[in-house]
Amino acid sequence: MDLKQLTDIDAISGNEGALRKAIMEAAKPLCDELYIDRSGNVIATKHGTDDRLPHVVFSAHMDEIGFLISGHTDDGLLRIMPVGGIDPRVAVSKWVRVGKDNIPGVIGAMAIHLQSPEDRQRVLGFDKLFIDIGAKDQKEAERLCPVGTYAAFDTPYTPFGDGFVVSKALDDRVGCFNLLRILEGKYAARVTCAFVTQEEVGLRGARGAGYSLQPDIAVVLEGTAANDVGDVPKRARVCEAGQGVCVSFMDGASMADRGLYKTMLSLATSEGIPHQVKRAVTGGNDAGAYQRAGMGARTVVLSVPCRYIHSGASVAKVSDIDAQFALSQAFLNNL
Amino acid sequence: MLRDTLKTLLEAYGGVGSEHGVADVIRGLLEGHVDTMKTDVMGNLIVEKFGTDDNGKRIMIAAHMDHIGLIVTHIEDNGFLRVTNVGGIGVDMVRGRHVVFENGMNGVCWVEPKETGTPTLNNLFIDIGAATAEEAAAQVSLGDVAVYAPNVFNLGKHRVASPAMDDRCACALLVELLQYAEEQKNTIVGVFTTQEELGLRGATVAAYAVNPDIGLALDVTAWGDTPETKLPAVKLGEGPAVKIMDRSMVATPAVRDALFSAAELAGVKVQREVLAFGGTDGGAIQRTRAGVPTGTLSIPCRYVHSACETIDMRDMEGALKLLLQFVDHVDI
Amino acid sequence: MLIEQFLREVTAIPGLTGSEQEVARYIADAFAPYADEVRIDSVQSVIARIRGDGPKVMFAAHLDEIGLMVSAIEEDGALRLGNVGGVDPRILPGMVVTVLGRQKLKGVIGAKAIHLLSPEDRQKNYKREDLYVDLGLPYDAVAENVHVGDLVQLEQRFVELKNKRFATKTADDRACVAIMYRAMQLLKGMRPTADLYFVATCQEEIGCYGAVTATYGVKPDFAVALDVCHAQTPDAPRSRTQELTSAALAMGPYLHPVVRKKMADIAERINVTVQTDLTRGSTSTDADEIAVSSGGVPTALLELPLKYMHTTVETFDLRTLEETARLLAQFAAEADASWEDELWT
């Protein structure tokens, strides 16, 4: 399954069913054990040949940010609430698709002509943003998109520039994509790839996976915020797209196991894999859940730098995605 | 001696996430005094000292080894380090401070001028005497943690001030407890935890693995006996404090009461502590698995998270006596 | 060509104000089968004529669109943006755009990351100065292909929503060009006597310049300008918006009451619902300039309600559009020299 196919599927947190099904099908021929656990995670395991080696879990989250329909206006617009951390300032004038039938819709707002100077300054909160599907009245809107319907950004996967892609949901379909690539290999150690749910709403799927798998080592494959364009001072860039896979020493949810962190850096150097260190401790991801589930696990995070990660159109460089995969594989081959 | 153990531990490096140096020192101090010793995936040092009673309880007693600090996030072209906090540390605490890294490298913290507003950690830098990024990178890596340089000194007859008193004074107590406890009825599972300052992270997994019958955290608490500071109603020198509650837990009443009984048996005066902020490893132990009856015994400490955290040794001695009775008598 | 197909195609063609050649060419070709003559004037307005012996009547809808222009290239290859017309900067962050450099280049509009903003700035919308286009290219490659002044085309899609409503970029004002197109088709089966001019004007968004030059070129006796007005959206003042589901006829001092009345009467007779859009002076449309050009032209303004104006998701109702075209065609067919006598009564 390629990255385009993976990003084309909508999987807002708590509604990962369609992606889960697709990943189950793609993983089936690649692994020895495959099941869906009680948190809705897809767990794919390859038996190793050497049981003295540690059990490594590679993990990526299936879910993406999006919206839930929370109500309807008299004139047939849909009220929305964000699922996951969406900056309301990136929502206006964006295409979405709503519900199972992919009903096309737009997020509109009062025209600039009608805004007062204060209105232009004010950030429209999600209580002032609506999805318009063209419904003529409240009744029709309710019938087509009842409260609780999910809506996703509709930003098609598009390659551009010097090896970049823009799409919705690169966070964390890049990780899912590389998990499937990892499953294609053969390894001495027992390797489990966990495609987990509900990261964006509080690292919830990974808690279940970490608890039941109790891995020795958990390597989380993520997309992380790159802030490297537009005349940004070096120290504020976090990481840079195109400079390779990003290894984290710490973020808001976990500190990397110091040994694993150093191992990843030295492996990347010796194998000639482009890499960088994440230079901020903001954000948080499933490593926090793995590290503290049950008896815990040694964790480390390998991220693909993603620009505009909080929006419906994130950007990543293909070479960074490849570097994430290369380092994952090098790690497994050098345990 | 408690004072010597304390000084030894205060001088060990143990920035959050790199606590193994402290663990090594503790391992040496406990050699021959405990029955088992192991380190888990989070770096927690877990030791057992078996009780005499086959029906005795397993009491997990936790003290954290980690020390708040500053983590390197960027190296400037001219060799200065940009950092952010690991644990609760603010700009006003560190300006002009001498800090050290795990490899012994020294640094001085300073804050760049700012035209408007109050400076934040974004304006802080560490000067390590390097003139270029290459020179700096030869000695320090992104992700390394700087802590206040050790500086232990006496303050008056009974008091000791130092960085890292939070929570090495509790580590010292736990070490001494494990050294001095003899033929106690219950099994002591001493856990020297990691990453407490980032949200009780080490204790969370240790508590799950230890699966104790009773939990107790040892930690410092704030003070209410300096100018214009009233709360918590805890004073230095008035004995250790039995925690009633803080943001991480309401102490299990049975454990709290057992601490009061142990104090009475030991003839030690204690205070009651209600803290509107903060938390201890007790919160993590209390909520593991199906829940564990848990309390916290606190050492009153002034200027917490500064480079001059100050405690009273009489409170430490009282706490040790109390703990010796507790591990022998508690039965919940 | 079906009206829907015309709309789909005409909204997709770049035609930023001042650079309208491509869209003008397309419209001229589309109009040709229904007109006796079509020309593109010197400033890129399209003028299609259906010859007649009666009075000269001009219909005008503008073909230009708002957009962005490259104003600077940063050292890391990021492009800073200038405005062509009133683009609402709120719509820009996270949008996929095309930069019309030596080659067409896809890019994404990025903004200063939220964690770099002060708490006060987080309460404010991004300003155009905070935004940039990320082409995913190093500086050298950018500099080779892109120059300051190159146009930046906003994201283009044409999507059918429920109830024959459509969302697209540049419905302002190509939807009204489509009304003229449809009216010309309808006129094929009618017998107009007037000399009819269907003009797709250029450069409306920066001051209705195309309408001025076209008016001097045509010298019409009457005119009807066609433009979009605001359809109801939440929060918008009801007094300044119209229902999406029927056309609006503007009323106010800049507009001629008799021409307006003719349109209203015809609408009533052929059962086309029209709303009244009251203006107290300027209508900010071509009507304002046509009315005072070439010695003065009695002018009416017919409007198509549009949601989310000046965004890339401008939304209109196709049935409203078709009804408006029916009204326009009937008006064109009935236009008569006798109207002249009623003008100032």
Q: Is residue B159 part of a domain?
A: no
Q: Report residue A156's pLDDT band, with 50, 70 and 90 as the boundaries.
A: very high
* Cβ contact B17–A297 (<8 Å): no
Number of domains forming the structure of chain A: 2
How confident is the model at residue B1, as a pLDDT? 86
Token pair recorded at residue A151: 């809506």
* Cβ contact A258–B18 (<8 Å): yes
Angle, nearest 10°, between helix axes B165-180 and B20-30? 20
Q: Which residues of A touch C315 (CB under 8 A)?
A: 106, 108, 132, 134
Q: B180 with B287, same domain?
A: yes
Q: Is residue B154 part of a domain?
A: no
Q: Which residues of A touch B84 (CB under 8 A)?
A: 280-281
How confident is the model at residue C116, as a pLDDT? 67
For residue C82, how many other CB atoms are within 10 A of its CB? 15
CATH of the domain at A215: 3.40.630.10
Q: Which residues of A touch C173 (CB under 8 A)?
A: none
Q: A186 with A214, same domain?
A: yes
d(CA A238, CA A228): 8
- Is A255 an 8 Å CB contact of chain B? yes
Beta strand pairing call for C56-62 and C195-201: parallel
CB neighbours of C172 closer than 8 A, spacing ≥ 6?
C65, C66, C227, C228, C306, C309, C310, C314
The residue among A125, A153, A181 that closes a domain is A153
CATH of the domain at B272: 3.40.630.10
Q: A176 with A137, same domain?
A: no
Q: Is residue A131 part of a domain?
A: yes
Per DSSP, which regions of C205-291 are E strands? 222-230, 247-251, 274-278
- Which of B5-14, C83-92, C331-340 shows the lowest per-residue confidence on average (mean pLDDT)? C83-92
Selected residues 239-268 of chain A with any CB under 8 Å from a CB in chain C: 241
How confident is the model at residue C294, as a pLDDT? 85
d(CA B101, CA B96): 16
* Cβ contact C137–A161 (<8 Å): yes
* Nearest CA distance, B82 vs chain A (angstrom): 8
Q: A256 with A274, same domain?
A: yes
Mean pLDDT of A247-260: 93
Q: Is residue B247 part of a domain?
A: yes
Beta strand pairing call for C151-153 and C274-278: unpaired
How confident is the model at residue C188, as a pLDDT? 95
CATH of the domain at B85: 2.40.30.40
Q: A45 with A179, same domain?
A: yes
Q: A261 with A291, same domain?
A: yes
- Which of A92-96, B113-117, C198-202 shows the lowest per-residue confidence on average (mean pLDDT)? B113-117
* Cβ contact B143–A277 (<8 Å): yes
Q: Is residue A160 part of a domain?
A: no
The residue among A124, A153, A182 that closes a domain is A153
Q: A149 with A91, same domain?
A: yes
- Residue B63: closest CA among B209, B220, B213: B220
Q: A51 with A79, same domain?
A: no
Q: A201 with A325, same domain?
A: yes
pLDDT in tens, B59-73: 999 999 999 999 999
Token pair recorded at residue C312: 């890339």
d(CA C300, CA C271): 19
> Which residue range is the domain that position A126 belongs to?
66-153
- Residue A57: closest CA among A228, A230, A252, A190: A190
Q: Is residue A39 part of a domain?
A: yes
Q: Which residues of A touch C93 (CB under 8 A)?
A: 87, 89-90, 308, 311
Chain A's closest residue to B195, CA to CA, is A255
Q: Which CATH architecture has domain C67-153?
A: Beta Barrel (2.40)
* Cβ contact A111–C309 (<8 Å): yes
Q: Is residue A161 part of a domain?
A: no
Q: Which burial class, exposed, middle or buried, applies to B248 when counting CB atoms under 10 A from its CB (0-12, 13-18, 19+)?
A: buried
Full 3-state SS string of chain B: CHHHHHHHHHCCCCECCCCHHHHHHHHHHHCCCCCEEEECCCCCEEEEECCCCCCCCEEEEEEECCECEEEEEEECCCCCEEEEEECCCCHHHHCCCEEECCCCCEEEEEECCCCCCCCCHHHEEEECCCCCHHHHHCCCCCCCEEEECCCCEEECCCEEEECCHHHHHHHHHHHHHHHHCCCCCCEEEEEEECCHHHCCHHHHHHHHHHCCCEEEEEEEECCCCECCECCCCCCCCCCCEEEEECCCCECCHHHHHHHHHHHHHHCCCCEEEECCCCCCHHHHHHCCCCCCCEEEEEEECECCCCCCEEEEHHHHHHHHHHHHHHHHHCCC
Q: To which residue do tokens 């087509």 refer?
A: A144
Chain A's closest residue to C311, CA to CA, is A93
Q: B196 with B215, same domain?
A: yes
Cα distances from B236 to residues A241, B7, B267, C47, in angstroms, run 53, 19, 18, 92
* Nearest CA distance, A160 vs chain C (angstrom): 6
> Which residue range is the domain that position B232 belongs to?
2-67+164-329
Question: What letter represents residue A310's amino acid?
Answer: H
Main-chain phi, psi angles of C247, to 5 degrees:
-65, 160
* Nearest CA distance, A183 vs chain C (angstrom): 30
Chain B's closest residue to A289, CA to CA, is B201
Break chain C into its structural domains and give their ranges. 3-65+169-342, 67-153
Q: B91 with B182, same domain?
A: no
The residue among A99, A121, A153 that closes a domain is A153
d(CA C111, CA C131): 5
Q: Report residue B332's pLDDT band, with 50, 70 and 90 as the boundaries.
A: confident
CB neighbours of A262 closer than 8 A, spacing ≥ 6?
none
Active-site pick, B19, B176, B196, B197:
B196
How confident is the model at residue C89, as a pLDDT? 87
Q: Count of CB contacts below 8 A, A vs C?
A: 203
* Nearest CA distance, A222 vs chain B (angstrom): 19
Query: With the C-alpha atoms ordered C170, C174, C179, C185, is the resulting torsion angle positive or negative?
Result: negative
| H/E stretch holding C115 | none
- Is A109 an 8 Å CB contact of chain B? no
The residue among B148, B178, B201 that closes a domain is B148
Q: Report residue B255's pLDDT band, with 50, 70 and 90 as the boundaries.
A: very high
CB neighbours of A21 closer than 8 A, spacing ≥ 6?
none
Q: B314 with B197, same domain?
A: yes
Contact C105, C134 (CB under 8 A): no
Q: Is residue A201 part of a domain?
A: yes
Q: Which residues of A touch B141 (CB under 8 A)?
A: 277
Q: Which CATH architecture has domain C3-65+169-342?
A: 3-Layer(aba) Sandwich (3.40)
The residue among B98, B118, B148 that closes a domain is B148
Q: B260 with B292, same domain?
A: yes
Q: Which residues of B touch A257 (CB under 8 A)?
A: 41
Q: A39 with A180, same domain?
A: yes
Q: B13 with B113, same domain?
A: no
| H/E stretch holding A128 | none
CATH of the domain at A116: 2.40.30.40
Q: Which residues of C touch A114 (CB under 8 A)?
A: 230, 236-237, 240-241
For residue A98, how many other CB atoms are within 10 A of its CB? 23
Q: B176 with B273, same domain?
A: yes
Q: Which chains touch A (3 or more CB pairs under 8 A)?
A: B, C
Q: A34 with A72, same domain?
A: no
Q: Is residue A159 part of a domain?
A: no
- Is A279 an 8 Å CB contact of chain B? yes
Q: A326 with A190, same domain?
A: yes
Beta strand pairing call for C299-306 and C222-230: parallel
Per DSSP, which regions of A65-172 are E strands? 66-72, 78-83, 94-98, 103-108, 130-132, 150-153, 158-160, 164-167
Q: Is residue B158 part of a domain?
A: no
Q: How far is CA A158 from the centre of its chain?
A: 17
Q: To which residue do tokens 């008035």 refer?
A: B238
Q: B81 with B63, same domain?
A: no
Instruction: Choose among A216, A255, A298: nearest Cβ to B195.
Output: A255
How confident is the model at residue A119, as a pLDDT? 82
Cα distances from A137 to residues A141, C159, C244, in angstroms, run 6, 20, 12
Q: Report residue A12's pLDDT band, with 50, 70 and 90 as the boundaries.
A: very high
pLDDT in tens, B101-140: 999 999 999 999 988 888 999 999 999 999 999 999 999 9
pLDDT in tens, A39-55: 899 999 999 999 999 99
Q: Is the peptide bond before B66 cis (omega within 30 degrees of 0)?
A: no
Q: How far is CA B149 from the centre of its chain?
A: 16
Q: Is residue A50 part of a domain?
A: yes
Number of domains forming the structure of chain B: 2
Per DSSP, which regions of C186-309 are E strands? 195-201, 222-230, 247-251, 274-278, 299-306
Cα distances from A30 to residues A40, A58, A180, A327, in angstroms, run 20, 15, 8, 20
- Mean pLDDT of chain A, nearest integer: 94
- Residue A309: closest CA among A276, A278, A288: A278
* Cβ contact A114–C124 (<8 Å): no
d(CA C325, CA C7): 14
Contact C84, C15 (CB under 8 A): no
- Is A282 an 8 Å CB contact of chain C? yes
Best probe of the C interface among A78, A79, A86, A93, by most C CBs < 10 A, is: A93
Q: B59 with B84, same domain?
A: no
- Mean pLDDT of chain C, nearest integer: 92
Q: Is residue A158 part of a domain?
A: no
Cα distances from B44 to residues A257, A320, B51, B195, B208, in angstroms, run 12, 35, 22, 9, 12
d(CA C257, CA A84): 55
Mean pLDDT of A157-165: 96
* Cβ contact C86–A232 (<8 Å): no
- Residue C63: closest CA among C205, C220, C215: C205
How confident is the model at residue B94, as a pLDDT? 94
d(CA A214, CA B193): 20
Q: To which residue do tokens 């998701």 refer?
A: C313
Q: To which residue do tokens 């209580």 refer?
A: A127
pLDDT in tens, C106-118: 999 998 776 667 7
Mean pLDDT of C173-194: 96
**What SS3 class is residue A227?**
coil
Q: Report residue C341's pLDDT band, with 50, 70 and 90 as the boundaries.
A: confident
How confident is the model at residue B203, as a pLDDT? 97
Q: Is residue B126 part of a domain?
A: yes
Residues of A recognised as catalytic: 199
The residue among B99, B115, B148 that closes a domain is B148
Read off the pTM.
0.86
Q: How far is CA C161 from the centre of its chain?
A: 21
Predicted confidence (pLDDT) at residue B200 exceeds the cutoff of 90: yes
Mean pLDDT of C246-253: 93
Q: To which residue do tokens 């012994």 refer?
A: B104
Query: With the C-alpha atoms ordered A108, A112, A118, A123, is the resulting torsion angle positive or negative?
Result: positive
Mean pLDDT of A262-274: 97
Query: With the C-alpha atoms ordered C307, C313, C315, C321, is the resulting torsion angle positive or negative?
Result: positive
Q: B235 with B247, same domain?
A: yes
Percent of chain C with pLDDT over 70: 99
d(CA B136, CA B58): 48
- Residue C192: closest CA among C51, C37, C296: C51
Q: B120 with B246, same domain?
A: no
Token pair recorded at residue C132: 């940039």
For residue A131, the cross-strand partners are A78, A107
Contact C153, C96 (CB under 8 A): no
Q: To which residue do tokens 């195109």 refer?
A: A242
Question: What letter represents residue B229's amino acid?
Answer: T
